[in-house]
Structure 1
Amino acid sequence: MSLHLIIGDKRYSSWSMRPWLVLEMMGAPFTDQVIPLNQPDTRAAILQHSPTGKVPALKCEHGTIVDSLAICEYLAELFPKAPVWPRDLSARAQARSACAQMHSGFVSLRTHMPMDLRHDEALEVIPVEAQDDIERVIGLWDECRAAAVESGPFLFGKPSIADAFFAPVAVRLRTYRVQLPEHAAAYVETIYQWSAFKKWQQAGLEEG
């Protein structure tokens, strides 16, 4: 089975990171292709692979799957024995809810704190809307941990799609030096020590 993931720069592309981490988590063989973002020919280059002109896009035997959440759901069905969602029904429902909220919300956080793995400086002032997003993220992490039935440092104990979806948020919180409660800071550290994330981070930092 051939899985080829079209992504943007690993340094910047938070949406691309999510399905890439899930593929790493599954241990599924795949290839990736980086298309540099914010270049004059970026959209034309992506359109050769994705009808939306956006990344990520997964090319597979069932066609081209676009959108990070759709790709992750497809992979979960393609490899049903891979525990990328919590096994417990209630925990799984909360994991899906958290991912959907991340997928559709937190616009201010994304706008004022764009992902850049090399960034290392706090904002002079965090806008109120962005601070509200940060507090909601922390609350959402608490809700996930409360719903978890397995032990471990990730949102639902073991690594899941939920962690893949919040990994770019952890990057933002660390690289913009956001002061966090102890338990939230510990989760950010968990992401940074995750072997799948460390592979992405290393590749992103090595990009030109």
Structure 2
Amino acid sequence: MDRPTLYIANKNFSSWSFRPWMALTGAGVDFEEVLIPFDYAGGNPNIKAISPTGRVPLLQHGALKIWESLAIIEYVAELYPDAGLLPRDRAERALARSVSMEMLSSFRALRSACPMNIRRPKGRIALPDGVDADISRIETIWRDLLQQSGGPFLFGAFSGADAMFAPVVNRFDIYDLVSRNDTLAYMVTMKAHPAWRKWEEAARAEPWIVPEDEV
């Protein structure tokens, strides 16, 4: 089987890249990584040259190109069915897809107010309307799934659903947004995952700086 190539942007800032990268790495999928840094001044022509949308992440497998984080995770889950990116139980797969899609399409207030930034010093900011509701909904999703599965991840073992929420774990952490013990315990579990640690180490070593209002 041809080895897929995952195109990503800066690890410190790119929440969209973080999701499929952590999913594939956490599941032990062998892939080639190509990092194309953000260039907001002119738009990085290297991204536009490989991606039909002009954005990353993008997975290339042979001649096939797949864009959008969740589509990449779903494709790789089909390509490697034993990797554990989707739960084996049909009902749990449906639920995993539901919460992953909700993560993809919702929580705009949180995304806008609190950009992902691995290197940002921890500290609270003034939160605009809508952020508290987003936080509450995400905590409810996590709490319900962890109670149902028994943890330590949302569906017991690490899956693509956990990877979809990885940037939120960073946001909750660096902006000091949560205090519930069950939420904090799940965040500790995520941040201890070898894939998370590998991403974080690389993000902290990156030389690029992008202003938060441009992320």
Number of paired residues? 206
How many angstroms apart in 1 are the aligned matches of 2:135 and 2:63? Answer: 37
TM-score (structure 1 length as normaliser)? 0.94
d(CA) in 1 for partners of 2:160 and 2:148? 15
Counterpart check, 1:97 vs 2:69: no
Residue of structure 2 in register with 1:143 after alignment: 144
Matches within 5 A, 1:177-196: 177-196=176-195
Q: Which moved more, 1:124-133 or 1:65-74?
A: 124-133
- Counterpart Cα distance in 2 of 1:23 and 1:99: 15
Report the equivalent of 1:156.
Answer: 155
- AA aligned to 1:182 is N
**Partners of 2:63 and 2:100 in 1: how far apart?**
24
Give the partner amino acid of 1:114: P
Q: Do 1:144 and 1:156's aligned partners in 2 also have CA atoms closer than 8 Å?
A: yes
User: How far apart are the structure 1 equivalents of 2:38 and 2:165?
Assistant: 21
Matched, 1:175 2:174: yes
CA deviation map 1:79-129 (0-9, x unaligned) = 112211111222221111110000001101000000000112333322231
Shift of 1:185: 0.6
Once the 2 structures are TM-superposed, how far is the Cα of residue 62 of structure 1 from its aligned partner? 4.7
Cα offset, 1:41, TM superposition: 4.0
TM-score, normalised relative to structure 2: 0.91
Deviation at 1:39, TM superposition (A): 3.1
Could you tell me which runs of 5 or more consecutive residues in structure 1 were left unpaired when the two chains were aligned: none
Taking the aligned partners of 1:131 and 1:38, their CA distance within structure 2 comes to 32
Determine the C-alpha separation between the residues in 2 that align with 1:201 and 1:59. Answer: 24
Matches within 5 A, 1:39-50: 39-50=40-51
Please report the RMSD computed on the Cα atoms of aligned residues, expressed in angstroms.
Answer: 1.4
Aligned identity (percent) is 39
Task: State the partner residue of 2:212.
Answer: none
State the one-letter code of the partner of 1:50. S
Partner of 2:14: 13
Structure 2 residue runs of 5 or longer lacking an equivalent are 208-215
Q: Is the 8 A contact 1:120 1:177 kept in 2?
A: no
In 1: Cα distance, 2:178 partner to 2:148 partner: 25
Distance 2:44 2:148 in 1: 40
Q: Tell me, in whole angstroms, the C-alpha distance in 1 between the residues paired with 2:200 and 2:3.
A: 24
Distance 2:170 2:55 in 1: 21
Q: Quick one: which amino acid aligns to residue 140 of structure 2?
A: G
1:9 and 1:204 in contact (8 A); partners too = yes
Residue identity in the other structure for 1:132: A
Which runs of structure 1 show a deviation greater than 3 angstroms over 4 or more consecutive aligned residues?
none
CA contact (8 A) 1:86 1:156 kept: yes
